Amino acid sequence: MAELFVTNFNPRFTGVSATAANVVRQQVGAFDLRLVGRPLPGCPEPITPRAARALSRTPPPGRPFAIWHVRRNPEMRAALWARDVLGLPVRIVFTSAAQRRHSAFPRWLISRMDAVIATTERAADFVPHVRAVVPHGVDTDIFTPAADRAAEWAALGFGGRIGLATIGRIRPEKGTDLFVEAMLRLLPDLPGAVALVVGRAAREHQKFDLELKDRVQRAGMIDRIRFVGEIPAARLPALMRALSLVVQLPRYEGYGMVPLEGMASGVPFVASDAGHYRDFSDAGRCGLVVPREAPAAAAEAARAILSDPGRHAAMGRTACETARQKFSAATEAAGIARVYDALWQGAAR
């Protein structure tokens, strides 16, 4: 009988998927764990929700109940069905990263959780039952610095001598248009630099995507601002190692893993004042944070970093060290384990 069930119901590999995978890879050696739903890279093969319910009918050896760790609305619903309708001996832990008020139905779902883990102090303000604040961590075994960044970049075949990138869904909330505007300002003064837009546009954002590509085309920058689509999770570490700068300019972000993945790869960042980016920046030693809706400021920050090789190298070294010491997946997994242990020990009293 498993003691821990980690759910992943989304068929797409999203930021939530990435954070779950990072933790699961750390947890497999510490718990009798089952992944439930969809596969995650580097994680055990998943079982179905039906199989998870069957395995949850009897408490695991030495435990009063199994824990279901959920991260999305459908996963909360499935866990509540198991606990409250079927009456299975399970407890539910939910991770919350949102830094804004949830809508009515998610608020009700979250109110039914046995424990909530917030990823930031700000996120903790919007949810009940918070047992701990545990920042998301990056897998520092996978995201590592390049021995030769120039060679890594050349091997990707995107052209130019150095690369910059924004990574995520192409939509206004993620600030893809702000990235394009910043690159249109920056790249004419930075010969040899190529900027990548990594991600896809959902159907409702196809027009937004096409308008951005048309703007780049009209500016004569189509070879220097490249829309490369989604990159599989397995290939993302190689991309990160090859970059010289990560640029994330969202209008809203709950947490934001991309700068952390860059940091662990020895790559500094420029980001808008959203998510947890200001804490990542370590007062400008790992990255520079600019106001939201400020592509000109982002371009200037990127120029300041890339035009000073000594500063760029120092920021990359500090970024890698900070990711390993403060924002590793191992540290996150340890914080989560303490919440599990508190639930189990509390029931045993």
Cβ-contact 168, 174 below 8 angstroms: yes
Please say whether the dihedral angle defined by the alpha carbons of residues 235, 239, 241 and 246, taken in this order, is positive or negative: negative
Tokens standing for 289?
A: 């944070």
In DSSP terms, 94 is beta-bridged to 70, 116
β-pair partners for 34: 5
Rg value, the chain, Cα: 21
Closest alpha carbon to 90 in 128, 49, 122: 49
Q: Which of 194, 249, 348 is nearest to 340 (CA)?
A: 348
Count CB atoms within 10 A of the CB of residue 42. 15
Instruction: Give the CATH H-level superfamily of domain 149-326.
Output: Glycogen Phosphorylase B; (3.40.50.2000)
* Spans of all domains in the chain: 4-137+328-348, 149-326
pLDDT tens per residue across all 349 residues of the chain:
799 999 999 998 888 999 999 999 999 999 999 999 999 999 999 999 999 999 999 999 999 999 999 999 999 999 999 999 999 999 999 999 988 889 999 999 999 999 999 999 999 999 998 999 999 999 999 999 999 999 999 999 999 999 999 999 999 999 999 999 999 999 999 999 999 999 999 999 999 999 999 999 999 999 999 999 999 989 999 999 999 999 999 999 989 999 999 999 999 999 999 999 999 999 999 999 999 999 999 999 999 999 999 999 999 999 999 999 999 999 999 999 999 999 999 875 5
Helix, strand, coil shares of the chain, percent, nearest 5, are 45, 20, 35
Please state, in angstroms and rounded to a whole number, the distance separating the CA atoms of residues 265 and 316: 8
**What sign does the CA torsion over 72, 73, 74, 80 have?**
positive
Can 4-137+328-348 and 149-326 be said to share one CATH topology? Answer: yes
Q: Are 13 and 233 in contact (CB under 8 A)?
A: yes
- With a threshold of 0.85, does the pTM exceed it? yes
Chosen CATH of 4-137+328-348 out of 3.30.565.10, 3.20.20.10, 3.20.20.70, 3.40.50.2000 = 3.40.50.2000
d(CA 336, CA 72): 17
Token duo for residue 344:
């189990």
